[in-house]
Amino acid sequence: MKKFLFLLAATLSTAAPVHVDLPTVMKLAGANNDEIQLARVKHTETIAESKQAWQRFWPSLSLGVGYRRHDGNIQDVAGAVFNAYKQQYTVGTNIMIDWSPGDLYYSALAAKQKALAAEQLAEKSRRDIVTQATSRYFDLLSTEASVAIIEDDLRLSHDYEKQLEGAVTAGTAFRADLLRVKTQVSRAKLAIRQEQEKRDLAAAALAETLRLPAQSELRPAKSDLVPVRLNGKTGVATMITQATQHRPELKAARAATTAAQLERDRARIAPIIPNVQAGYGAGGLGGGFGNNTGNFDDTQDFYIGLGWKIGPSGLFDKQRKVITNAREEATNLQTEQIKAAIGREVVEAAAKSQSAHDQIAINDEAVTAAEEMAKLAKERQASQLGVVLEYLLAREELTRARQSRVQAVTDFNKAQHELKRAVGK
């Protein structure tokens, strides 16, 4: 993929337009977008936090040396104060444990669920960007096809203009008819320029999504202008069921709900489990009165204790329980909101897809009728049975019908990709 991106960037550095097809656009959108990278970085961060949460179970280990000296008054354990001059030095290791097993366990489980949620949100970002790139690609394809249709109409109008110029010169046609055709030619040129502007704007929008240079002259592959059904004839209810099983944002919401439930259990159960503190030190100790540096020998210390925390974040902390219960309820409500939004998206995408499919069939009929009408008008004009205006109107109707069909195919393909994303594929 990196090699492909390098070659594409080198190609885009030239002034010539670059033709891209739909698979290329989808690959670039999924691999070259900083929004996706940002979501992946967030996922990496949550994975590290999850691992770190489990690592808190490990004891801390320290290795060092120390020196201590005292001159002057000191008090013994019985309370007597006296002058002392002494020193000591130590060499050794210390192992310390300061555990809150309940907090550590539940926080580690919650961190794992948060990492899972971040992973699903990263996948959601990827799918959203790919769908956006696909939609902008079809917009570009639609404007390119519209330019081609109008250029074809302009070519025929130019030919007709030349025929009328000869007829006007020969005195067999009216100059007013020639002027009507010239007006039609100018109108076609204006329409082409307007569609070219739309094409350039669509190319810029697509380049933005693909994170390509803004000046990239992207052009679509014309072979993609065919209706493609990506989803079988599945009922809406079945698709909604599939969506609730496969949509990554719903998986993320469920993971967040599980994390909130673990935080609730942490507030309820963790304070009951005692904290554990333990330490062990081993090494050597030496020193003595005044400047005595001898008496060096082995020394060991060991300590263990259990305790419970009372108050905030401990026993009888009612507010912490209220907070975690509220957060759990909030995540449940958010999950239901996401589920409702997913159902609406599936219904909308299915309705758009079916409507566009029906419009393609209607436009096919309109194109066929317009082609026959233009043919008959041309024959009538050639036999002097019709008028120029009739032929021009027939040509205009044919161009409009062809453009309408292109838009219907574009809407259908966009709706199919939107439906695919909505279902969670």
**Could you report the per-residue pLDDT of 178-217, keeping only the tens digit for each?**
788 888 888 889 999 999 999 999 999 999 888 888 788 8
- pLDDT-based confidence at residue 387 (cuts at 50, 70, 90): low
Instruction: Flag whether 91 is in a domain.
Output: no
Q: Write the DSSP symbol of residue 172.
A: S
Question: Looking at residue 204, what is its pLDDT?
Answer: 92
pLDDT given for residue 202 in this prediction? 92
CATH, residue 323? 1.20.1600.10
Region at 258 (left for phi over 0; alpha for psi -120 to 50; beta for the rest): alpha
For residue 296, the SS3 value is coil
Higher pLDDT, 16 or 117: 117
| Residue burial 268-283, b: 16+ Cβ < 10 Å; e: rest | eebbebebeeebebeb
Distance CA 162, CA 177 (A): 12
157 contacts 183 by C-beta, under 8 angstroms: no
The answer as to whether 300 is a domain residue is no
With DSSP H G I counted as helix, E B as strand and the rest as coil, what are the percentages for the chain, rounded to 5?
Answer: 70, 15, 15
Three-state secondary structure call for residue 94: strand
Q: Is the dihedral of CA 226, 231, 236, 240 positive or negative?
A: negative
> Which helix (DSSP H) or strand (DSSP E) does residue 15 occupy?
none
In this predicted structure, what is the pLDDT of residue 32? 63
pLDDT tens for each residue of 233-267: 778 899 999 999 999 999 999 999 999 999 899 88
* Pairing between β-strand 60-75 and β-strand 297-307 as defined by DSSP bridges: unpaired
Give how far Cα 54 sits from Cα of 48, 89, 349, Å: 10, 36, 43
Average of per-residue pLDDT across 370-397: 76
| Residue 162 domain-assigned (yes or no) | yes
Q: What percent of the chain has pLDDT over 90?
A: 23
Q: Does residue 49 surpass a pLDDT of 80?
A: no
Residue 62, φ and ψ in degrees, nearest 5: -130, 150
What span, in angstroms and rounded, lies between the C-alpha atoms of 106 and 364?
A: 62
Indicate whether 81 belongs to any domain: no
**pLDDT score, position 4:** 47
In a domain, 12, yes or no: yes
* Nearest partner of 374 among 152, 144, 148, judged by Cα: 152
Q: How many angstroms separate the CA atoms of 359 and 401, rounded?
A: 11
Considering 85-89, 218-222, 251-255, 307-311, the range whose residues carry the highest mean pLDDT is: 251-255
The string of pLDDT tens digits covering residues 394-415 is: 888 888 999 999 999 999 999 9
> Would residue 359 count as lying in a domain?
yes
CB 146 within 8 A of CB 406: yes
Cα(385)–Cα(391) distance, integer angstroms: 11
Q: Phi/psi of residue 73, each to 5°?
A: -65, 150
> Which CA distances in Å does 418 have to 421, 423, 425?
5, 9, 10
Mean local confidence (pLDDT), 358-383:
84
Range(s) of the domain holding residue 219 = 2-60+102-274+311-423
User: How high is the pLDDT of residue 8?
Assistant: 52
Total structural domains within the chain = 1
User: What kind and span of H or E run contains 215?
Assistant: none
In this prediction, residue 6 carries a pLDDT of 43
What is the pLDDT at residue 38? 74
Q: Is residue 280 part of a domain?
A: no
pLDDT score of 46 more than 50: yes
In a domain, residue 192? The reply is yes
pLDDT > 70: percent of the chain: 93
Cβ distance 346 to 338 under 8 Å? no
Task: Classify each residue of 391-407 as buried b or exposed e, where b means 16 or more C-beta atoms within 10 Å of its C-beta.
Answer: bbebbbbbbebbbbbbb
Residues 53-59: what's their mean pLDDT?
A: 72
Residue 385 clears pLDDT 50, i.e. is over it: no
Are the C-beta atoms of residues 226 and 410 closer than 8 Å to each other?
Answer: no
The pLDDT tens digits for 14-28 are 557 888 888 888 888
The pLDDT confidence band at residue 384, using thresholds 50, 70 and 90, is low
Which residue type occupies 219?
A: R
Is pTM beyond 0.75 here? yes
